[in-house]
Structure 1
Amino acid sequence: MSGENQAKGNAQSSKKANCCQLTVDEVGLLKLKLTILAVLCVILGAFLVAFQVLSFMRVENAETERMLIEQKNRNDDLTKENTKLKTGLQETERMLIEQKNRNDDLTNEITKLKNELQGGKCADGWQYFDGSCYHFSTDTKNWTESRDACVTMGGHLVIINSQQELDFLNARREMGDGRSQRDFHWIGLTDAEEEGEWRWVDNTPLTDPKLVQPKHTVLTFVSAQYNSHSTQFHWFWGINQPDNYKEWGPQDCAMIFAGKLYDETCRSLKRICETKSCMAGV
């Protein structure tokens, strides 16, 4: 009897030991499962974080792409507008060039017609200005011979009536045929009849205040002492003219030189003849 009880006790002890051993294994397995589960949770969390990051980046990229598309569209619009403006500018430049060419053609035509018209107003060898024709000689004669030569040609030694006419004569006198500012030309003015009483070849006295200047007055355009003679006038006479310098004889004849009038001995010089235009007033 005691032997059976002992055997039963041993069996129960062995069974309890086996139960304890299984519990340890289960605990280990449970820990393993928990570890795996924790790892899976971490991985899942990482995936979730990564997914959120990717989603955020996708949204950001989409917004950036949208902005880039909008900017590209704006750039395209600006490019089209720039092209349109450039085309318009080129068209405007083309029209301006065409208009300039038309203006140049009209100017040339007007000049041509004017030259033809003026050329028709004067005989060959004469130049037109303001209703009169002028001949600039290349040969030289004394004043009396020059006066007679102009009459023979149907005119007279030039009678100057204005600053504009004097400017015209001076400009033409210095052009072409070897003429230069050193050339002197007789004009139709003399005081041979009475010293100091200057008269034109048509016997009219020299009375224009811009032509008349007190004798022996040296003009200066900076000194106030000559205000009484009015420096506003552009004097026709040269400085200190007429002076009747008599070293080579009396200076009773007037010539034009460098845009001014000078008295001179009536020696041989070139001359300027004047006559009315055959189409005066046209």
Structure 2
Amino acid sequence: MNDSEEETTQQLSSLDEEHLINSGTIYSIKGFQFQPPYVLKRAAVHLCHGHGLFVQLFCLTVSAILLLVVLVKVSNVANSQEQEQVNKDKIYQKMAQLKPQIKHLCRPCPWDWMPFQGNCYFFSKFQQNWHDSVTACTKMGAQLVVIKSDDEQSFLQQTSKEKGNAWMGMSDLKHEGTWHWVDGSHLLFSFMKYWNDGEPNNEAEEDCAEFRDSGWNDVPCSAKKYWICKKPAVSCTKK
């Protein structure tokens, strides 16, 4: 090999070493980055320090292998992203198909109301006075609860016991000692048994009724209590 050929070989080897090995090359294709493994890089460094056509071919082969590895990894990432998008499209398509069916589903009571024997009951999350509670129920197309049966009384008494003392739709505001419901009906004699012992006593202008402990209690209407609304459940007759 003459001096010119030897010089060319050295330049090629130096170029391969600089750009493929020593620089810690990071290949980037469409945002995907890959750095050659350290062991492979060090092995190629030592070999590429040699001279001759064989060394040049070896360095080119290493470069081709590294490029192939990068392409394989990029391809895998691309396939994974494509499959993820396909799955998303399928989910959106299923949701679009189910949407009309969901609209036609019938719920006897709204989501935040509790069903019981053909009626829906709303138990408030905050407290307010009796008059504001009556208004709140009216705005929701309901009434502050009017009790019509012993089963209903047991259900409401137990629930209010768990959630906190709550207003019912009963008062003696029109005439002291004469209790009536917000729908205009009078308190039945058979329901008098639900008053707690010694109640109603009207100690301090206590004109409104609440669920307390295991029975009813009269309390000033200005007091802040939870409240219970009631309205009929929706009929879900199939068309």
Name the TM tier (shorter chain). Answer: 0.5 to 0.7
Partner SS state of residue 189, structure 1: strand
Partner residue of 1:161?
Answer: 148
State the number of aligned residues: 132
Matched, 1:184 2:165: yes
* CA distance in structure 2 between the partners assigned to 1:140 and 1:170 by the alignment: 17
Q: With structure 1 as the length reference, what TM-score do the two structures score? A: 0.44
Please report how far the alpha carbon of residue 253 of structure 1 lies from its aligned counterpart in structure 2 after TM superposition: 0.2
Please report how far the alpha carbon of residue 277 of structure 1 lies from its aligned counterpart in structure 2 after TM superposition: 0.7
Partner SS state of residue 263, structure 1: strand
Q: Amino acid of the residue matched to residue 240 of structure 1? A: G
Partner residue of 2:100?
Answer: none
Unaligned stretches of 5+ residues in structure 1 = 1-118, 213-234
Q: How does 1:248-267 map to 2 (within 5 A)?
A: 250-266=205-221, 267=223
* CA distance in structure 1 between the partners assigned to 2:177 and 2:236 by the alignment: 34
Q: How does 1:223-262 map to 2 (within 5 A)?
A: 235-246=193-204, 250-262=205-217
Deviations 1:159-194 (A, max 9, x none): 01122111111222344xxx3xxx210000000111
More strand by share: 2
Q: How does 1:145-156 map to 2 (within 5 A)?
A: 145-156=132-143
CA contact (8 A) 2:133 2:144 kept: yes
Q: How does 1:264-275 map to 2 (within 5 A)?
A: 264-266=219-221, 267-275=223-231
CA contact (8 A) 2:160 2:211 kept: no
Partner residue of 1:210?
Answer: 190
* CA distance in structure 2 between the partners assigned to 1:202 and 1:280 by the alignment: 26
Please report how far the alpha carbon of residue 209 of structure 1 lies from its aligned counterpart in structure 2 after TM superposition: 2.3
CA contact (8 A) 2:112 2:122 kept: yes
CA contact (8 A) 1:150 1:273 kept: yes
* CA distance in structure 1 between the partners assigned to 2:121 and 2:236 by the alignment: 13
Q: 1:259 to 1:166 in 2, by over 3 A?
A: farther
Q: 1:167 to 1:201 in 2, by over 3 A?
A: same
Q: With structure 2 as the length reference, what TM-score do the two structures score? A: 0.52
Larger of the two Rg values belongs to structure: 1
Task: State, as a whole percentage, how many aligned pairs show the same letter.
Answer: 32
Please report how far the alpha carbon of residue 280 of structure 1 lies from its aligned counterpart in structure 2 after TM superposition: 8.3
* CA distance in structure 1 between the partners assigned to 2:157 and 2:125 by the alignment: 15
* CA distance in structure 1 between the partners assigned to 2:153 and 2:212 by the alignment: 11
Unaligned stretches of 5+ residues in structure 2 = 1-105
Partner residue of 2:116?
Answer: 129
More helix by share: 1
Q: 1:144 to 1:279 in 2, by over 3 A?
A: same
* CA distance in structure 1 between the partners assigned to 2:197 and 2:109 by the alignment: 34
Q: 1:191 to 1:120 in 2, by over 3 A?
A: same
CA contact (8 A) 1:133 1:277 kept: yes
Deviations 1:139-174 (A, max 9, x none): 111000000000011101000112211111122234
* CA distance in structure 1 between the partners assigned to 2:113 and 2:158 by the alignment: 15
Coordinate RMSD, CA, aligned:
2.0
Please report how far the alpha carbon of residue 259 of structure 1 lies from its aligned counterpart in structure 2 after TM superposition: 3.0
CA contact (8 A) 2:143 2:182 kept: yes
